[in-house]
Amino acid sequence: MLVLFFIILFHGSLTLASDPDPVFDFCLPNETSAGSSHSSCKNSSLARVEDFIFSGIKFPGKFNGSGFSSTAVNSKVFPGLNTLGMSLVRADFDVGGVNVPHFHPRATEVAVVLEGKVYSGFVDTNNQIFAKVIEKGEVMVFPRGLVHFQMNVGEIPATIIGSFDSQNPGLMKIPTAVFGSGIEEELLEKAFGLSPKELAKLKKRHAPH
C-alpha cells in the first residue's frame, strides 16, 4: 500500500510539473556562462534596476507576408526574466494580418488585445473550436499545447500582448511544421489530397527562413 502511495505521488508530481520554482529572489545570468545549459547567477549585489526593465516592445516589428509581426520577450533578450517561469510576446497585425495556427508545447498563453479587433480562437483535442472576435481590453486564454490562431478583422492595425507561464514556451507553426520540415512528399500528397505542383507551392511558401 505504501508503495502504491509513492507511485501515485510521483506520478502526480510529473503531471503537475512546469518550470521549476526559483530558489533565489532572481537570477541574472552570469555573462561568462550565458547561453550555457548550466548558467550560473551573477552576484545579486551587482544587479541594477535596469536589469529588470525591457524597452524592446515599445514599437511594432516589421510585418511578414501574412501581415503579422512578433517580438519575443524572454530571458535571452531580457535577462531579468531568467528562472522566473514566464515570458511575453508582442504581436502586431496589419489590416487582415494573420497569426497562423500554431501551439506552444510548454506553456499556456494569456493574450490581451491592446488595440483593434481580432478573430481569436483555439481547437481542443476533440476538434471543438472556441473562437470569437475580441476587442481592445479583452483577454483570451489558450491552454497549453492546443492549436490556436488570430486574424485582424478590424479596419486598423491590431496589437496583442501574450504572456506565457514558461521561460521557454516553444513555438510550433502548423504550416511550417507540416510543409517546411522535410516530411516525405508522397505522404503529404496523400494526406492532404494535393497534386505535386500544389505541394511544391506550399513547401516553397512555408520553408523555414
Residue 102 is assigned to a ligand binding site:
yes
- DSSP-assigned states of every residue in the chain: -HHHHHHHHHHHHHHT--SPPPSSS--PBPGGGTT-TTPPBPPGGG--GGGG---TTSS-----TTSEEEEEESTTT-GGGTTSS-EEEEEEE-TT-EEEEEE-TT--EEEEEEESEEEEEEE-TT--EEEEEEETT-EEEE-TT-EEEEEE-SSS-EEEEEEESSS----EEHHHHHHSS---HHHHHHHHT--HHHHHHHHHHT---
Residue 99 is assigned to a ligand binding site:
yes
Residue 148 is assigned to a ligand binding site:
yes
Binding residues: 99, 102, 104, 109, 148
Binding residues for oxalate: 99, 104, 109
Binding residues for Mn(2+): 102, 104, 109, 148
